[in-house]
């Protein structure tokens, strides 16, 4: 029972991490110091997608599911939970790279807009 709850907790943390990577730039607009956490998360997520790696949380979840007597799954979190709903035939390498590019461009845009806002809010003549 405890292993199943732990596996579900890892699943939730994994999902929240993905949401944070995708939408965390919006939180950075409100709390700029959060960028110190968000930027490394974006870099990690994009790198994992581009390199074709599986996030370390996936094998942890699978091990906990096996220990609970449940079936694990092959592939990564996105393959199993998200791609199955969005891409019924499976997640191709090209789509995976495209998702990494999308994450990077989305967040670069948010940070460029934030940088522009911060620059325009500085009083004239102020030094960095």
Torsion sign across C-alpha atoms 30, 122, 37, 52: positive
Domain boundaries, the chain: 2-121
**pLDDT 10s digits, 65-118:** 888 887 766 666 555 565 555 444 666 778 778 877 888 888 888 889 888 888
Closest alpha carbon to 22 in 118, 104, 122, 124: 104
Q: What is the reported pLDDT for 88?
A: 46
Tokens at 63, concatenated: 């091990």
d(CA 55, CA 79): 11
Residues of the chain with pLDDT > 70, as a percent, come to 79
Model pTM? 0.65
d(CA 96, CA 49): 6
d(CA 59, CA 74): 9
């Amino acid at each position: 029972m405890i292993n199943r709850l732990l596996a579900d907790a890892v699943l939730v943390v994994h999902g929240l991490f993905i949401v944070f990577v995708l939408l965390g730039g919006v939180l950075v607009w409100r709390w700029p110091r959060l960028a110190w956490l968000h930027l490394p998360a974006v870099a990690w997520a994009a790198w994992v997608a581009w390199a074709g790696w599986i996030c370390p949380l996936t094998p942890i979840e699978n091990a906990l599911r096996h220990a609970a007597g449940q079936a694990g799954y092959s592939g990564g979190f996105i393959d199993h939970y998200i791609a199955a709903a969005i891409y019924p035939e499976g997640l191709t390498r090209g789509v995976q790279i495209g998702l990494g590019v999308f994450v990077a461009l989305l967040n670069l845009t948010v940070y460029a807009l934030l940088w522009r806002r911060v620059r325009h809010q500085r009083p004239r003549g102020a030094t960095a």
